[in-house]
Structure 1
């Protein structure tokens, strides 16, 4: 099997980066007219900057409001609008589900795509993958595309204005990257691009972990006070670029499969992706039998950034075996990334690991 490493064509991060949206799109060869799919929050904060940037280049553009969920219906709606307008480029602006929707629509339309996250809550922006949900909020499928985004543009000014919960969720999502990358490295299972990992991808995953542990708590303090600090700059890069490159080119394993299992439980639907992935990380560590002192260190870190460490934090009773078994069954269905672990994994093992991780976390 070949080694494969993928990345976006261009990554731009900085204060007031929204002011350069059209110029950065132009720098990678993207063309007007442009359809910009935006969350309500991103539009309210950055629309004037987008307008001025597009005006400077004389680019025609339209804005389509995002409805809130990356579903097949929403993707088809964006595709229909893009085709009606005859656009040559598409921009997604907002949170992870907006970006996933825009990416999927651009792939169907075979047009260029730029992604402008307004929160640093996931590692979705740099990848060629969209997580698609059904109307009830359950994970339906991963859609993997032929190409990564042409441009990822991260405006630190917007990140600093967002609720700190979003940054913490991004830290939870990014925390999984090293552990899942290591599992795929040991098992020699394929990454998200159907190839083996490279030394570069694994090194990025490890650097992502080190950055998160070093700067995560300080970055959360900065956002809580709406400050762009050096720690925040490093964490946004870790959450977005390092984690994005690391997971896509190294691979996913138990943590994200357990996240998918958690989405089967209605009480988890109001929690962010990274908050659920955090429980997946702890369960993966228990499943792999990591030493207790290391496990406890991770729990202490998660508590320092106000991320969930117990099933009850997601509204789940660890003693409700029907719920636990539902999660475990979904996490281990055929084709799930949990089978990238370097040993066979069964639903019974996951059920035990969920409860073991919960019990170990309770002792910290």
Structure 2
């Protein structure tokens, strides 16, 4: 099997870049469907007006219906047909961006991705995570191409709730460990081949950046400052993790996240928060040395990422609930089987219990 790496055609990161959106977008079409939430539009309406003013492209704004589901994708395809749009721009968080990518795929038009938060590694990928209308994981939609452009306005992102950027660090935490597992098992990555050296290097750089800059970035954001550490973490959460997970591969952490979506108690938690706990669970499955596991758990605690089931919202833990999570995580079409050893619902359930116990121990509970 070939070694394959893929990436967005263009990645732009800097303060105030959203004010140039029209300049960038006019290279891809004449009429853009701009997908955004109503609250998001109100927040950056003035920036968007400046961004499109004077450029040869017309924006058509459409509010997102909260879920990246087949129902919402089909609705937006119909809107594009009705309005005659020839490019789509997704502005917001992971589910909006995944929806924009899916709509672009079905319409065969370019897509520009403009995150207003750095909470997931979704922006750069040729992948959309499809959920049911109720928010339960349904499937991965693998796309034939990455976004035409990813635009990160760090001025906007730095003003977003700190918890969202921390959640992005939780998502990015999984990147290196899942890529390492896929390399060991020679699993097929989301890019359709084996792991490249470049992807492994980017995944490791992602991990090292999180460890070195993560806590500094959180403290800076809490102080309202966009520092070099913040800029580095935004790149780690988005570009390094995006290329790293896609061309490095997914394994245990994201599959275990998907398992937790079957529990209503966890629906209020962000994607990266569940992935962080999934990463700890994967590391328990791998039986990594105790000091390495302690370092990861301590880092999560410093950032405020969940290390126990209680922190995930599961106040009444039962074997039935954990087995339901483990069974869903081991679904035939999910990525837990990319681990370099056999996994079963029973071993995953045991790892979840142990991960929770370690988290409680290090929290002093």
Matched, 1:328 2:326: yes
The correspondence for 2:81, drawn from 70, 80, 83, is 83
What SS does structure 2 have at the residue aligned with 1:149? coil
What SS does structure 2 have at the residue aligned with 1:360? helix
Q: Please tell me whether the aligned partners of residues 172 and 274 of structure 1 are also in contact (alpha carbons under 8 angstroms).
A: yes
What SS does structure 2 have at the residue aligned with 1:314? coil
Superposed CA offset, 1:32-80 (max 9, x none): 1111001234312323222222222132111101121111111111111
- After TM superposition, give the deviation of residue 218 of structure 1 in Å: 1.2
- CA distance in structure 2 between the aligned counterparts of 1:215 and 1:144, rounded to whole angstroms: 32
Q: How many equivalent pairs are there?
A: 362
The correspondence for 1:163, drawn from 158, 161, 166, is 161
Superposed CA offset, 1:223-259 (max 9, x none): 2222211100000000000000000001000000000
Taking the TM superposition and a 5 Å limit, the aligned residue runs for 1:261-276 are 261-276=259-274
- CA distance in structure 2 between the aligned counterparts of 1:356 and 1:288, rounded to whole angstroms: 12
Matched, 1:340 2:345: no
Q: Please tell me whether the aligned partners of residues 39 and 65 of structure 1 are also in contact (alpha carbons under 8 angstroms).
A: yes
Superposed CA offset, 1:278-332 (max 9, x none): 1100100000001111111111100111110001111225851000100000000
Q: Please tell me whether the aligned partners of residues 318 and 324 of structure 1 are also in contact (alpha carbons under 8 angstroms).
A: no
What SS does structure 2 have at the residue aligned with 1:161? coil
- CA distance in structure 2 between the aligned counterparts of 1:112 and 1:272, rounded to whole angstroms: 28
Q: Please tell me whether the aligned partners of residues 45 and 158 of structure 1 are also in contact (alpha carbons under 8 angstroms).
A: no
Gaps of 5+ in 2: none
Q: 2:291 is matched with which residue? A: 293
Matched, 1:190 2:188: yes
- CA distance in structure 2 between the aligned counterparts of 1:2 and 1:297, rounded to whole angstroms: 35
- CA distance in structure 2 between the aligned counterparts of 1:283 and 1:268, rounded to whole angstroms: 16
RMSD: 1.1
- CA distance in structure 1 between the aligned counterparts of 2:159 and 2:313, rounded to whole angstroms: 28
What SS does structure 2 have at the residue aligned with 1:220? helix
Q: 1:25 is matched with which residue? A: 25
The correspondence for 2:108, drawn from 107, 110, 129, is 110
Q: 1:101 is matched with which residue? A: 99
Q: 1:253 is matched with which residue? A: 251
- After TM superposition, give the deviation of residue 264 of structure 1 in Å: 0.4
Judging changes above 3 Å, is the alpha-carbon distance between structure 1 residues 212 and 41 closer, same or farther for their aligned structure 2 residues?
farther
Matched, 1:145 2:143: yes
What SS does structure 2 have at the residue aligned with 1:141? strand
Q: Please tell me whether the aligned partners of residues 22 and 56 of structure 2 are also in contact (alpha carbons under 8 angstroms).
A: no
- CA distance in structure 2 between the aligned counterparts of 1:3 and 1:46, rounded to whole angstroms: 41
Q: 1:39 is matched with which residue? A: 37
Q: Please tell me whether the aligned partners of residues 296 and 361 of structure 1 are also in contact (alpha carbons under 8 angstroms).
A: no
- CA distance in structure 2 between the aligned counterparts of 1:76 and 1:21, rounded to whole angstroms: 26
Superposed CA offset, 1:152-172 (max 9, x none): 001111111111110010000
Taking the TM superposition and a 5 Å limit, the aligned residue runs for 1:197-208 are 197-208=195-206
The correspondence for 2:353, drawn from 340, 352, 355, is 355
Q: Please tell me whether the aligned partners of residues 9 and 150 of structure 1 are also in contact (alpha carbons under 8 angstroms).
A: yes
Superposed CA offset, 1:106-159 (max 9, x none): 110000000000000000000010111112211011101101000100111111
What SS does structure 1 have at the residue aligned with 2:195? coil
Q: Please tell me whether the aligned partners of residues 36 and 91 of structure 2 are also in contact (alpha carbons under 8 angstroms).
A: yes
Q: Please tell me whether the aligned partners of residues 160 and 222 of structure 1 are also in contact (alpha carbons under 8 angstroms).
A: no
58-67 vs 245-254, which moves further = 58-67
What SS does structure 1 have at the residue aligned with 2:359? helix
What SS does structure 2 have at the residue aligned with 1:191? coil
Q: 1:122 is matched with which residue? A: 120
What SS does structure 2 have at the residue aligned with 1:312? coil
Gaps of 5+ in 1: none
